[in-house]
Structure 1
Amino acid sequence: MSDPVLELTGLEKTFNPDTPGEIRVLRGADLTLARGEVVALVAPSGSGKSTLLHIAGLLDGADAGQVKINGRDMGAQSDRRRTETRRDEVGFVYQFHHLLPEFTALENVVLPQLAAGVSDRKARARSEELLTRVGIADRASHRPAELSGGEQQRVAFCRALANGPAILLADEPTGNLDPTTSDTVFAALMELVRDTGLSALIATHNLELAARMDRVLRLDDGVITNGL
């Protein structure tokens, strides 16, 4: 696989080490994500897929192993450079939207751009474009409590893509939605990912959704294997 955007090599992670409650979550996990590729990560609850995504997105550190983003070894970077990479090159979507309740849908998408130094005018234009792409431009002035679950998650997608990341990491992005809404929201996410040429690693329990991605990986007993 040429020119990978994300490489995880030999990741190990243990919680409560050297105690009776020790939990070895990752046992040498390896993963490569190509540019423009959408990969499903399938695993049962408690298997460590959230931990793996957090390490891949530089939200947490591994006990051993290497994370490379766009060819750069993140373990060799300064804290500042890692923060900049996480802000500019990685987008996150979670099962729960985590939108800021006091701000409108548009403002929730604008804020990460302002934090990255984008002008208010450009940030608003970008936000309006993204909300239009996922079909909720008419809800831009509504706060999260005034939106349905599916609408809230679509705003979360837009927020994750606001700064034009190279990688999208999504942890059960439709897991909190009913089946019909889940399918609609997932279709909006896939269209957005394909249109922007993103690379995406999407953790899901839904095997039907997983089958619609380019490749399916399974996290099993701390290691990654191919297929369902």
Structure 2
Amino acid sequence: MNNPAMTEFALELSGIEKAYLKGEPGEVAVLRGAELALKPGEVVALVAPSGAGKSTLLHIAGLLDGADAGEIRLSGQDLTRANDAKRTEMRRREIGFVYQFHHLLPEFTALENIVLPQLANGTSERHARKRGTDLLARVGLSHRAAHRPAALSGGEQQRVAFCRAMANQPSVLLADEPTGNLDPATSDTVFAALMELVAETGLSALIATHNPDLAARMDRVLRLEEGKLIAG
């Protein structure tokens, strides 16, 4: 993970534009010059109605999709015109993803789901297992380390997904409605675990949510309206 003191912003998006069916009669402009500057250690809520483009914005920020126009900087590096290999490298090293549905690998245990991305990143198995064990302890799941996802509750699965996203010590965490499929009590528990992890590691986070109570607990709120980000 990069030293936050080295860069002014963990993630910068400048003038991001994205349209689907570009150049065709049915073209839909989703992002119209979106601007974002995420400081190291900052947790920002992203609020938008369904279909407004928040998932598209997160995919572009996470280097999973390209923008039609605009610039992207991650930990001070300009990745606007980076090739696929560079984008993959930076995504693996600097970005953690959490989705509404956990997407854990069903044939592996909770601990193994956290170990695997570290092995793919070149970490030794011994260190990967130690980090996975430590992360599970931080979210209160040490006793569930050997269980497969099917044996875990929805809230437990999502906490494991958070740990997996943090496994490679990213600079930026991107979360797309991470508590959207959980009941209110479980959602609150999972969100609290996430915020504790973020506070302990000092990384930055951009979290899309429909929940105004959760959004209010973050450092600030951004709303995506008509393709642009405005202060909430």
- TM-score bracket for this pair, using the shorter chain length: over 0.9
Please state whether the residue corresponding to 1:66 is helix, strand or coil.
strand
Q: Does 1:13 align with 2:18?
A: yes
1:53 lines up with 2:39 in the alignment: no
Could you say what secondary structure the match of 2:169 adopts? coil
Aligned positions of 1:152-171 closer than 5 A: 152-171=157-176
Q: Which runs of 4+ in 1 moved over 6 A?
A: none
In the TM superposition, residue 76 of structure 1 has moved relative to its aligned partner by 3.5
The residue number in structure 1 matching 2:181 is: 176
Q: In structure 1, how many angstroms separate the alpha carbons of the residues matched to 2:128 and 2:10? A: 25
Matching residue of 1:73: 78
Task: Give 1:132-143 correspondences, 5 Å limit.
Answer: 132-143=137-148
Deviation at 1:75, TM superposition (A): 1.9
Shift of 1:21: 2.7
Deviation at 1:18, TM superposition (A): 2.7
Match of 2:119 among 114, 117, 136: 114
Taking the aligned partners of 1:80 and 1:19, their CA distance within structure 2 comes to 30
- Residue 29 of structure 1 corresponds to 34
Equivalent of residue 103 in structure 2, options 80, 98, 106: 98
Q: How many pairs does the alignment contain?
A: 226
| TM-score (norm. length: structure 1) | 0.97
Q: What is the TM-score normalised by the length of structure 2? A: 0.96
Residue-by-residue CA offset, 1:84-131 (whole Å, 9 max, x unaligned): 100010000000000001100000000000000001110000000000
Deviation at 1:20, TM superposition (A): 3.5
Q: 1:64 aligns with which of 48, 65, 69?
A: 69
In the TM superposition, what are the counterparts of 1:137-152 in structure 2 within 5 Å? 137-152=142-157
Partner of 2:231: 226
Q: Distance in 1 between matches of 2:182 and 2:84?
A: 36
Identity of counterpart residues, as a percentage?
A: 71
Q: Which runs of 5+ in 2 are unaligned?
A: 1-6
Q: Which residue of 1 aligns with 2:190?
A: 185
The aligned amino acid for 1:201 is: L
CA contact (8 A) 2:70 2:80 kept: no
CA distance in 2 between counterparts of 1:81 and 1:18 reads 29
**RMSD across aligned positions (CA):** 0.9
Letter in 2 for 1:131: L
Aligned-pair distance for 1:22? 1.7
Deviation at residue 19 of structure 1 after TM alignment? 2.7
**Aligned residue type for 2:43:** V
Q: Which residue is 2:3 aligned to?
A: none
Report the 3-state secondary structure (helix = DSSP H, G, I; strand = E; otherwise coil) of the residue aligned with 1:95: coil
Mapped to 1, the partners of 2:122 and 2:36 lie a distance apart of: 32
